[in-house]
A and B are shown apart, each in its own frame.
Chain A
């Protein structure tokens, strides 16, 4: 069972991701903001991180830097409403493995998660 950390502040998206990813056979942990995510990252090792960019307390970019510094091998998927090219480019430059824009297709997301997990 792969361990996935979902960092998201929209309750509806959280529930859907949790439901879908658990159905796919993963162990899903939820963080509602950047601070909570950092705490979970200190105490747990994850196989994949799925994060939003607009988060309370700690921004998505700060969080990505933190993850890349502490667990550089953990793949990151960004799930964001932003479609601006510079934001997407910035995220890839910081080392994220995939970028999905909202509204998202849960089936497509599930496929991308599986692809990244099998790679690692």
Chain B
């Protein structure tokens, strides 16, 4: 059972069998791992507390500094900026917190104070640091740097930002698009010419929003992107033509009614409907039967919005008995056109449905 010769004390490591040596080795290895793991957790914790303390200290200092800079008339701006730069912008953390805090102030203030903050950002040489961040290589640092530049309306050479218009990360692409939109004095969508990656739905929403809320110049002629290589850009342009009531571009939208691409065809029907183009129904009703289900539904929408009962009947003749979704929509629209016959239409439809079932 128990081999007293092996475990007689005192013993040396060499006298132990190999399996025991291996066991001891594993014990030492895992014990050291546990100790290293434990020390790392403690060290990370201490580092985090230290970092947070420094961050809070810098934030408190900045709130005081920024408020005095903005609202205190006795504040010697030049001297204080110089002192602040020399004493409180030494480490990366201090610079990062300063940029974040200036952006936070800028988000909440407008008018003269916002402009003062933009000047301060320049005077503290934070633009240089932001440009370094731009080339950092990590997507979130790049996106944050572009965001800071556009929020504070800081112009940098276009090619510096253009590089990021076709980045693999959506967030970086989005920030660079917003940069061009917010800083443009005219032609805010010029960046679309250099865009080779499709616009996501969110990007389209952000671009539209930025056009409405930040861009102050004349509205661009959206028809210049109707023949862009990307479907998403063309789709966006067709939509914007209607949103900005560019009636002069109606003839340029007509060819899209014959497009092989259902997305573009759909968008063209919607835009022409919203522009209340009287000739639209004559172009889409005769060909109704040859379209896909989505387009057929869109045509019914167009008839409902800008057509009359006669137009609807012409569409109705082309709906197959098996196309239930279209038939239901047809009858709903019919009820809208003939409110006095609402119940009759409903009961007729129910009869048709029952007999077919």
**Which residues of chain A are within 8 angstroms of B108 by Cβ–Cβ distance?**
10, 12-13, 16, 102-104
A103 with B114: CB separation less than 8 A: yes
Residues 161 to 176 of chain B near chain A (Cβ within 8 Å):
none
Residues 70 to 119 of chain B near chain A (Cβ within 8 Å):
70-72, 101, 104-114
**Which residues of chain B are within 8 angstroms of A12 by Cβ–Cβ distance?**
63, 101, 104-105, 108
A106 with B72: CB separation less than 8 A: no
Question: Considering residues A10, A102, A106, A108, which has the most beta carbons from chain B within 10 angstroms of its beta carbon?
Answer: A106
Residues 88 to 120 of chain A near chain B (Cβ within 8 Å):
102-108
A23-B109 contact, Cβ under 8 Å, with A12-B63, A15-B67:
no
Residues of chain B touching chain A, judged by Cβ–Cβ distance below 8 Å, are: 63, 67-68, 70-72, 101, 104-114
A20 within 8 A of partner (CB): yes
- Could you show 22 A-B contacts with beta carbons less than 8 Å apart? A10-B108, A12-B63, A12-B104, A13-B108, A15-B63, A15-B67, A16-B67, A16-B70, A19-B68, A19-B72, A23-B71, A23-B72, A103-B107, A103-B110, A103-B114, A104-B109, A105-B109, A105-B110, A106-B71, A106-B109, A106-B113, A107-B111
User: B312 to chain A: closest CB distance in Å?
Assistant: 36
By secondary structure, the B interface counts as helix
Q: How far is the CA of A13 from the CA of B70 in the complex (A)?
A: 13
**Which residues of chain B are within 8 angstroms of A105 by Cβ–Cβ distance?**
109-113
**Nearest residue, chain B, Cβ from A15:** B63
A104 with B104: CB separation less than 8 A: no
**Which residues of chain B are within 8 angstroms of A15 by Cβ–Cβ distance?**
63, 67
B67 with A107: CB separation less than 8 A: no
**Which residues of chain B are within 8 angstroms of A11 by Cβ–Cβ distance?**
63
Residues 77 to 96 of chain A near chain B (Cβ within 8 Å):
none
A107-B105 contact, Cβ under 8 Å, with A16-B67, A23-B72:
no
B111 with A19: CB separation less than 8 A: no
By secondary structure, the A interface counts as helix
**Nearest residue, chain A, Cβ from B72:** A23
**Nearest residue, chain B, Cβ from A105:** B111
| Total A residues in contact with B, Cβ cutoff 8 Å | 16
Residues of chain A touching chain B, judged by Cβ–Cβ distance below 8 Å, are: 10-13, 15-16, 19-20, 23, 102-108
**Nearest residue, chain B, Cβ from A108:** B111
User: A96 to chain B: closest CB distance in Å?
Assistant: 20
User: B339 to chain A: closest CB distance in Å?
Assistant: 30
User: B221 to chain A: closest CB distance in Å?
Assistant: 29
**Which residues of chain A are within 8 angstroms of B68 by Cβ–Cβ distance?**
19
**Nearest residue, chain A, Cβ from B109:** A103
**Nearest residue, chain A, Cβ from B63:** A15
Q: How far is the CA of A104 from the CA of B105 in the complex (A)?
A: 11
**Which residues of chain B are within 8 angstroms of A106 by Cβ–Cβ distance?**
70-71, 109, 111, 113
**Which residues of chain A are within 8 angstroms of B70 by Cβ–Cβ distance?**
16, 106
A107 with B72: CB separation less than 8 A: no
A19 with B67: CB separation less than 8 A: yes
12 A-B pairs besides A12-B108, A15-B63 with CB distance below 8 A are: A11-B63, A12-B101, A12-B105, A16-B105, A19-B72, A20-B67, A103-B114, A105-B109, A105-B112, A106-B70, A106-B109, A107-B112
Q: How far is the CA of A23 from the CA of B104 in the complex (A)?
A: 22
User: A42 to chain B: closest CB distance in Å?
Assistant: 30
**Which residues of chain B are within 8 angstroms of A20 by Cβ–Cβ distance?**
67, 71
**Which residues of chain A are within 8 angstroms of B105 by Cβ–Cβ distance?**
12, 16
**Nearest residue, chain A, Cβ from B68:** A19
**Which residues of chain B are within 8 angstroms of A10 by Cβ–Cβ distance?**
108
Partner of B113, one of A13, A23, A107: A107
**Which residues of chain A are within 8 angstroms of B63 by Cβ–Cβ distance?**
11-12, 15
**Nearest residue, chain A, Cβ from B104:** A12
Question: Considering residues B71, B105, B112, which has the most beta carbons from chain A within 10 angstroms of its beta carbon?
Answer: B71
Q: How far is the CA of A36 from the CA of B210 in the complex (A)?
A: 38
**Which residues of chain B are within 8 angstroms of A16 by Cβ–Cβ distance?**
67, 70-71, 105, 108-109
**Which residues of chain A are within 8 angstroms of B67 by Cβ–Cβ distance?**
15-16, 19-20
Q: How far is the CA of A23 from the CA of B101 in the complex (A)?
A: 22
10 A-B pairs with the lowest CB-CB distances in the bound complex, closest first = A105-B111, A19-B67, A103-B110, A20-B71, A15-B63, A105-B110, A103-B108, A106-B113, A103-B109, A19-B71
